[in-house]
A and B are shown apart, each in its own frame.
Chain A
Amino acid sequence: MLNKYPAWKYILILITLGLGTLYSLPNLYPDDFAIQITGNQSSLVPDESLHKKVTKLLSESGVETISSVLEKKNLLVRFSSSESQLTAKSVLQDQLGDDYIAALNMAPTTPDWLKNLGAGPMKLGLDLRGGVHFLLEVDMEKALSQKLKIYTSELKSVMRDEKVRYRSAQIDGIDGITIKFKKVEERAKAESLAISKYREFTRTSTDVENDYFLTLRLSEARIKEIEDYAIQQNLITLRNRVNELGVAEPLVQRQGRNRIVVELPGVQDTATAKRIIGKTANLEFRLEAKPDASSRSSQKFKFKNEASRTAFLEKDIIVTGSNVSNANAGFDENGVAQVNISLDGNGGKMMLDATKRSIKRRMGVLFIEQKSVTSRKIVDGEEVVTRNNREIRNIINLATIQSAFGNSFRITGLDSSAEASELALLLRAGSLAAPIYFVEERTVGPSLGAQNINAGLLSMQIGFGLVLIFMLVYYRVFGIVANVALAINVVLLCAFMSLISATLTLPGIAGIVLTVGMAVDANVLIFERIREELANGLSPQQAIHAGYSRAFVTIFDANITTLIAAVILFAVGTGPVKGFAVTLSLGIITSLFTSVVLTRAIVNLVYGGRQINKLSIG
C-alpha cells in the first residue's frame, strides 16, 4: 500500500494540464475594438487600393489605429478605444459609399502561435455583448398550399394530355387535392396515372351520388421534404440579407421544425434590421431587346457579377419570381454545370407562349433587391447624409433560347458548378418563399451586456474565494489539494469551452459558479471516507487507498445522474439556458478528472511511498 502512481500517469496528467492551460490562454487576451470592412456583394472583396484609401482616410481624420490587416474576405482595422472606433465608423461609412460595409466588431488578440494551434477565446452570448435576437416562424401551411397549387395545375395539364376527363380539381384541406369525375372509368384512368407519376400521394376514392371523387394526399415524408425545403430556402435568403447588414458575427440557424433564429451581436437598431431581414427579393424573366428596339420598349441593365457588362432587355415581363417553384444546380449529360428551373402551371403557359415566338433570341433573368443607399447633399454649407431605400435591378443570367419550353427548363453552358449553384441560389432567393413572421424579438443594450459580465465574474470570484477558504480551514493539507484541483477545474472548463468555441452566456457563467460549488463534492466524499477509515483504525496509507476506491462508485453514480439532468436541459432549453447546460455538463466531466485523478496524484506525491503516522485532513 504505497500509494504511488506509475510515471505514465503523472505524464498524462501533466500533458492534460499543459493542454488545458494552453487552450484557455486566449481568454486572457482582451479583445480590440475593431471595424470590419466587407464588400456589399460576394464578388466585391476589399483589396490593396481600398486598404490604402482607408488608412489615408483615418490618418486624415486623426483617428489612431493599432493595425489594419487585409484578410481573405475583409479588411480589419483595430483601435485602442471605443471612441476612435466609433469616429472611424462614421468616417468610413460616409467616405466609402455603398459598395462597402463598415461593421463594428470586437477582434480577438490571440497571438499567432496560439492561433496556429487552433486556440481561440470563448464567444460571448448576446446577453453579455448586447445585440438583437429574432425568432422567425416559417408559415408551413402557406408553404404547403403553394406547393399544392403547383401540383393542381400540373395534374390538370397532365390529365388533359392523357385525355382523362375530369370535372374539377381542387385543394382539399392543408395536404390534399380532390378531383371530381363523372365516370368511374375516368377516375380509374386518373388513379393509374397517379400511381405511375405521383407516388408521393396517397389515394382514396369516394362516391357521392353520381359523382366520383379521387382524393390525393401528400405523404408524411413528402410534407417533411416540402417543409425542409421551405426552411432551407428561407435560411439562404436570410443569410444573404443578414450579410448585407454588415454584422460582424451573425447567426442564422434553424430551430425546431419551423423556426429560424437570427442573432445580430452589436446591433441596436431593430427597426433597420427588421426591414432588411423582412424585405423581399424578386425575379423577372424578360427577353433581350432587339437591336433596333426603341428606348420606350427596352431598358439597359448591369450584370450583377460583372459591373462593366450591360445588356438591353425588353420592358415586357414574361414571368416573375413568384412563378418559380424550384431551381437546382446540376450537370447535363456531358458533365457541364447547369441549373434546372421549374415554373408553376400559369408561369409555364406564359413561358411557352413567349419562347415559341422567340427561338434563338436571348432571355435575361433580372434579380431585384431592396437596398438602403446613402446619399449626400450640401445644405446650408453643411453636409447632410440621408439613407433611402432603393430598388436595384441586375441581370444574373442571359442565355439563348434553344427551343420552346414551358413548365421546366434548364440554363446550360455555365462555367463552373460554383456558378451554377450561385445562380440556383439567386433564383430561389428571388422566388416566392414561404412567408415568415417574427415571433420573438429581444434587444440587449451594450451597457446591460457589460453589466452582466461584471456581475457574473464578480460573483464567480467571490464564490470561488469563499469555497477556497472553507476547504482550507476544514481539510487543511487535503483542503489545499482540493483547492488546487478546483482552480485547475476552472482552467480546464474554460479550455474545453474555448476549444469547442461554445458561447458563454450569463446563465453559462452561473453554471460555472455552480460547478465551483459542486465540484468539491467529490473531494468531500473522498476526504470524509478517508477520515472514517482512519477512525476505523486503518493506517494512513491504507485509509487513503480505501477512501479513494470506496468513494469512486458513489461519485460516479452521483455525477452520471446530474449529467442526465444537464443533457435534458440542453435538449429542452433555448439560447442562454443552453449555455447553462453546456457549462454544467462540461463542468461535471472536468471535475471528475480533477477531483478524482488529479487530487490522487497530488496526494500520492505528498504522502505516497513512505511511512506516515498522521494525515492533515482536519
Chain B
Amino acid sequence: MKKQIDFMGKRHIAAFFSILLVVASIASLSIKGLALGLDFTGGTLVEVEYKVAPDLENVRSLLSSDGYDKLVVQNFGSSTAVLVRLSESFNDKIGSEVVKSLSSKGQSVELKRAEFVGAQVGEELREQGGLGLLLALGIVMLYVALRFQLKFSVGAVGALIHDVIIVVGCFSILNWDFDLTVLAALLAVIGYSLNDTIVVSDRIRENFRLLRKASPVEVINISLSQTLSRTLVTSLTTLLVLTALYFVGGEMINGFAKALLIGVLIGTYSSIYVASNVLLTMGVTKEDLIAPVVEEGEEVDDRP
C-alpha cells in the first residue's frame, strides 16, 4: 500500500475554503451579474481590424459623434482589433457604415465580422442553456445513483454544482464576457470534473469492500492517495493543451479556454475535497456498499 496522505484531516479547512468561494461567486453573481455576450443578450456587434493600433477613446468619440449611442468599444485579442457593441437596431449596412465612419479620419480599417442577434433569440438561448445545465446535472445524478449509490451521487453532483458556480463566479467577478462558447466550456467542465470524481468514487467503493477494518476516513484517505498521481497527471495534460489553446487559439476561443482552465483546476480540487467531504458528511459507511458485493462478487474474485 502506498503512503497514505491525510487528506481528510484538512477537510474542515477545505470545506471552509469551498464555501467561501461559492458564497463569493453567488454574491458577485447577484450583485454584479454576468457580462453576458451577444449570443444571450441580443444586439449588434461589429469587429474591425486597424492597420495601426487606434486609441479606443478616439474610436468611441468618432462613433458617438456620428450618432451612435450606448456604445461599448473594446480591443479584441490584439491592439489593432476593435470590437464595437451597439444598442442600435440592426440594418444590413451597419458593418460598412461603422467602417466608413471609422475610416473617415484616413485610417485604414477592415471589417472582420458583423453580428446581429434578436433579443428573443438571446432570451431563448439563455433559458435553453440553463435548462441544458440542469438536465446534465440531473441525468448525471441519476446515472451515478444507479451505478454507485445515492450518497455518491449527491457527492458527485455537489462537486459539479460547486465547480460550475465558481467558474461562473470568476466570470462575474472578473467581468469576462460570458458567451455561447463559455456555456459549452461549462458543460465540458461538468464532463471533466465528473470524470475525475467518478475515478475517485470508484476507488472508494473498491476500498470499502477490500479494507473491511478501515474507518470511512481512512478508506477515503487511502483511495485519494492511490488516485492522486492519476488525478494530477490527467489535470496536467489537460491543462497543457488548454494553455496552448489560451495563448494561440485566438480571441474567439479565449473565453472557452479560460473557463476550462479554471474549471479543470477547480474540478481537480473538488474531486479530491468536495465529493469525499460530502460523502463523509452524509456518513457513508461500508454498509452502504456491502449489499452489492454479493451481486458483483466476480469483481473481487478476479484477483489473480
Contacts and interface: CB of A to CB of B under 8 A. Distances in A.
Interface residues of A, number: 77
Interface residues on B, range: 35 or more
Nearest to A526: B230
A558 B233 CA distance: 16
A500 interface: no
B2 interface: yes
B129 A572 contact: yes
Contacts of A584: 188, 191
A184 interface: no
Contacts of B154: none
Main secondary structure on A side of the interface with B: helix
A456 B245 CA distance: 8
Q: Which of A517, A557, A571, A573: most chain B CB closer than 10 A? A: A517
Main secondary structure on B side of the interface with A: helix
A452 B129 CA distance: 25
A545 B203 CA distance: 18
A451 interface: yes
A467 interface: yes
A363 to B, nearest CB: 40
B139 A558 contact: no
Given A549-B302, A568-B187, A562 B240 contact: no
A463 B257 CA distance: 12
Contacts of A538: 304
Contacts of B113: 442-445, 448
A79 interface: no
Contacts of B284: none
Contact of A470 (B184, B236, B256): B236
A601 B134 CA distance: 40
B192 A535 contact: no
B121 A440 contact: yes
A557 B203 CA distance: 12
A451 B49 CA distance: 12
A540 to B, nearest CB: 13
Nearest to B134: A568
Contact of B241 (A137, A466, A536, A566): A466
Interface stretch (A310-318, A338-346, A574-582): A574-582
Contacts of B118: 135, 137, 438-440
A401 interface: no
B90 A558 contact: no
Interface in B236-258: 236-245, 247-250, 252-253, 256-257
A518 B199 contact: no
B9 interface: no
Contacts of B187: 565-566, 568-569, 572
A562 B111 contact: no
Interface in A460-496: 460, 462-464, 466-467, 470-471, 474
A448 B111 CA distance: 10
A441 interface: yes
B304 A466 contact: no
Contacts of A506: 250, 252-253
Interface in A425-466: 438-445, 447-448, 451-452, 455-456, 458-460, 462-464, 466
Contacts of B143: 560-561, 564
A562 B253 contact: no
A581 B184 contact: yes
B116 interface: yes
B245 A448 contact: no
B125 to A, nearest CB: 8
Interface string B95-138: 10000000000000011111111101100010011011001100
B140 A274 contact: no
Contacts of B256: 507, 510
B84 to A, nearest CB: 14
Contacts of A470: 236-237, 240
A124 B199 CA distance: 36
A470 B242 CA distance: 15
B55 interface: no
B272 interface: no
Given A463-B245, A528-B233, A572-B128, A565 B250 contact: no
Given A445-B112, A513-B241, A576-B181, A546 B233 contact: no
Given A444-B113, A518-B234, A564-B140, A558 B198 contact: yes
A316 B93 CA distance: 40
B136 A524 contact: no
B248 A442 contact: no
A532 interface: yes
Contacts of B219: none
Contacts of B140: 561, 564-565
Given A441-B115, A549-B302, A560-B143, A569 B184 contact: yes
Interface string B15-56: 000000000000000000000000000000001010000000
A271 interface: yes
A517 B230 contact: no
A520 interface: yes
Interface string B168-187: 00000000000011011001
Contacts of B244: 459-460, 462-463, 466, 513
Contacts of A559: 195
Contacts of B279: none
B185 to A, nearest CB: 9
B106 to A, nearest CB: 21
A553 interface: yes
A448 B136 contact: no
A455 B250 contact: yes
Nearest to B116: A441
A514 interface: yes
B192 A459 contact: no
A154 to B, nearest CB: 33
Q: Which of B116, B244, B257, B302: most chain A CB closer than 10 A? A: B244
Interface in A531-559: 532, 535-536, 538, 542, 545-546, 549, 553-554, 557-559
B295 interface: no
Contacts of B159: none
B95 A535 contact: no
Would you list the 9 A-B pairs with minimal beta carbon distance, nearest first? Answer: A463-B241, A572-B132, A455-B250, A439-B118, A517-B241, A565-B191, A562-B191, A463-B244, A517-B238
29 contacts: A270-B92, A271-B93, A439-B118, A441-B115, A442-B114, A443-B111, A443-B113, A444-B113, A459-B241, A459-B250, A459-B253, A463-B242, A466-B240, A506-B252, A513-B244, A514-B238, A520-B237, A524-B237, A528-B227, A545-B304, A557-B202, A561-B194, A561-B195, A562-B192, A564-B136, A564-B143, A566-B187, A574-B180, A580-B188
Interface of A: 1, 127, 135, 137, 270-271, 274, 438-445, 447-448, 451-452, 455-456, 458-460, 462-464, 466-467, 470-471, 474, 506-507, 509-510, 513-514, 516-518, 520-521, 524-525, 528, 532, 535-536, 538, 542, 545-546, 549, 553-554, 557-566, 568-569, 571-574, 576-577, 580-581, 584
